[in-house]
Amino acid sequence: MTLLRPNLQSYQQYDQKELLALIRKDFLDFSLSHTTNGSSFELTLPNNTQVNILADGIIGFNLSNNSKEAKSIVLSCGVHGNETAPIEICNKLVSNILRGNINTAHRVLIIFGNLDSMTIAKRFVEENLNRLFSKEIESTSLEGKLAKVIMQVVDTFFEAAQGERLHYDLHTAIRPSKNDKFAVYPFLHGNKHSKEQLCFLSACDVNTILLSQTPTATFSYYSSYHHGAHAFTVELGKVKPFGQNDMSSFTSVIDSLTMLLTQSDLTLPSFSQCPIVVYAVNQVIDKHYDDFKLHFADDIANFTTFAKGEAFASENGMVYKAQFEGEAIVFPNADVAIGQRALLTVIPHAF
């Protein structure tokens, strides 16, 4: 795989003691400047926590814990390299585990997805990684090759799971949002949605949920469909450069994820006590032609509502309009590649 990270050094130059000391200092910084060269590394912390470095930017804890009581938890971030708040959140969690500040009670896999796009502070290098999580997609781009590596690691991780399987793929949105934190619940093919999981998200201050109505090639859908995981794409505010995030706004996220990792079970309020608003995706509007354009301002917020019949977008003589009064927009982006999603619209959904 072609790497953009400059002057990469190899993990192989360090003995176990040196390697452990370096990743405990800052795993993300170390990952950005080093490559595993396709090898994996097993280390042990002073508190006997097992550490597995499985690929560049991918670290596991207590993977050999195959008890039925142990959850198998995936936290992923940096699938888009400029979405920095989740990267900083996950790096904080990794640092706390590596330094012995917290002890994991479960099998944990933490993925820093696209290290190369982090280096250039871009959403991706060649191709949107979060549209490539499907074994049926053939892509030779940097992200296409990376998706295959990540899927293989996740397959191995979940195939060894005995207990509950969870995956929270953490992102930030390109635009501001009227609902600052929200999550996309992948299409479940008729299976039931988990109210307990929605209450956990509410504990993270994520109180707006979008129910996807179709299969996709997103990371969360992959874990949900192929491995039966409770999986979500979680949007935590707006894209900002590294160091410019107000981390105090993520206190509930960090605290709830820490409790998830360290406690055998969580005590959550009932669903009726969780202030959750649920939407269903109504329209998935893909870009088919170069003249595709959105019919609203570039700085319009996610969840802005439209009157029935108002135009959302147009291309090649076709106009996409609101089908319901109060239909709202999410993830508008006219700059996507031909054939990719340029806009979702959502409507309130009784849950």
pLDDT for residue 293 is more than 70: yes
Q: What is the CATH number of domain 9-273?
A: 3.40.630.10
Question: Cα–Cα–Cα angle for 226, 341, 120, nearest 5°?
Answer: 85
Question: What was the pLDDT predicted at 176?
Answer: 80
pLDDT for residue 155 is more than 50: yes
pLDDT tens per residue across span 302-330: 999 999 999 999 999 999 999 999 999 99
pLDDT tens per residue across span 35-94: 999 999 999 999 999 999 999 999 999 999 988 899 999 999 999 999 999 999 999 999
pLDDT tens per residue across span 325-344: 999 999 999 999 999 999 99
Tokens of 136: 């049926």
Q: What single-letter DSSP state applies at residue 2? A: -
Q: Classify residue 323 by burial, with Cβ atoms within 10 Å: 0-12, 13-18, 19+.
A: middle
184, β-bridge pairs: 210, 233
CATH 2.40.50.630 domain locations along the chain: 282-348
What's the full length of the chain, in residues?
A: 351
d(CA 339, CA 317): 17
**What separation, in Å, do the N-terminal and C-terminal C-alpha atoms of the chain show?**
44
Per CATH, domain 282-348 is 3.40.50.12280: no
CATH 3.40.630.10 domain locations along the chain: 9-273
pTM of the model: 0.94
d(CA 282, CA 330): 11
Is 87 in contact with 27 (CB distance < 8 Å)?
no
So which residues are the catalytic ones?
235
Which are the contacts of 40, defined by CB distance < 8 A and separation ≥ 6?
Answer: 52, 53, 54, 55
Question: What was the pLDDT predicted at 3?
Answer: 54
Q: What is the CA radius of gyration of the chain?
A: 20
Question: What was the pLDDT predicted at 1?
Answer: 42
C-alpha closest to that of 244 among 172, 149, 170, 185: 172
Question: What was the pLDDT predicted at 351?
Answer: 78
Residue 236 sits at φ, ψ, to 5 deg, of -115, 75
